[in-house]
Amino acid sequence: MRQEWLEYLQQVSWNTPVTLALVSATVGSVVTLAWIAAWDARERRRCRDHTALELALSLESYARTCRTMMHKAVWAASEPVGTTNREACKGVSIPAFAYPDKLKWEVLSRRAISELREYPATVHAAREYVEAFREFGEAIDLCDQVEYECAKVAMAALALARTTRRRHGAATWKPGVKDSAMERELSDFIKNAEVRRKESLERRTGPSVGRRPDVQPFKKPLGA
């Protein structure tokens, strides 16, 4: 069969109108398909870049919201101990987080989707811990815990936003004057808070009269 086709093609005259029309149609189809493929790739890349930018902006906005809540926690903790203090602390909590609706997640890689999807779960876990702390802890301790947890989730949001921008070629975040030192301030706060928490834990779990010898102190601060 292959030999017969070769003999037939050798006999075909390439100068006939029918042959020229077939060749022209084939070339036209190839060019059209190539153009469609290039257009689809360009549109997919544009959609991916837009989606990545929306995600990064959402994370950066959430970090700013967390920093505002940190200031609110400081203000609430400074209120005189009593009814006023407890009322002020009722509005102190880790802000809820959710990505914008109608995002086209399918244009992102599986690795990127996995990392981005895990972040809301991290925030939810921190919120649950703080609410449990609210039920059993003192008001001033609750404010300190909210401030610390807000700093951690805000720092994680900025790191994830930076990775998302870099991975998809989006422009680097250029915060305004008010937010220019936010990441450094959050990092410094977390380091100092962890030092204070460690020192406080060591004081509470140090040698004391009446401690049972078989009781072992915690080796790690709660919520660290």
Find, among 167, 173, 224, the residue nearest to 52 by Cα. Answer: 167
* pTM more than 0.75: no
Q: What is the pLDDT of residue 85?
A: 62
> Does residue 127 fall inside a structural domain?
yes
> Does residue 180 fall inside a structural domain?
yes
- Give the mean pLDDT of the chain: 76
> Does residue 187 fall inside a structural domain?
yes
pLDDT tens for each residue of 62-78: 999 999 999 998 888 88
Interatomic CA distance for residues 94 and 101, integer angstroms: 21
> Does residue 47 fall inside a structural domain?
no
Interatomic CA distance for residues 29 and 147, integer angstroms: 63
Number of domains in the chain: 1
| Structural domain containing residue 99 | 66-204
Cα–Cα distances (Å) from 76 to 6, 137, 224, in that order, read 89, 15, 22
> Does residue 40 fall inside a structural domain?
no
pLDDT tens for each residue of 124-164: 999 998 888 787 777 788 888 999 999 999 999 999 999 99
Q: What angle do CA 139, 64, 90 make, to 5 degrees?
A: 20
> Does residue 80 fall inside a structural domain?
yes
Q: What is the pLDDT of residue 57?
A: 92
Cα–Cα distances (Å) from 130 to 29, 99, 101, 156, in that order, read 62, 22, 27, 17
> Does residue 173 fall inside a structural domain?
yes
Phi-psi region of 208 (alpha: psi -120 to 50; beta: other; left: phi over 0): beta
Cα–Cα distances (Å) from 173 to 39, 150, 161, 179, in that order, read 29, 21, 9, 11
Find, among 94, 93, 26, 91, the residue nearest to 62 by Cα. Answer: 94
Query: Residue 189: CA atoms inside 13 Å, Cβ hemisphere, count?
Result: 22
Pick from 41-45, 67-71, 147-151, 179-183: least confident: 41-45
Interatomic CA distance for residues 50 and 57, integer angstroms: 11
**Amino acid, res. 216:** Q
> Does residue 2 fall inside a structural domain?
no
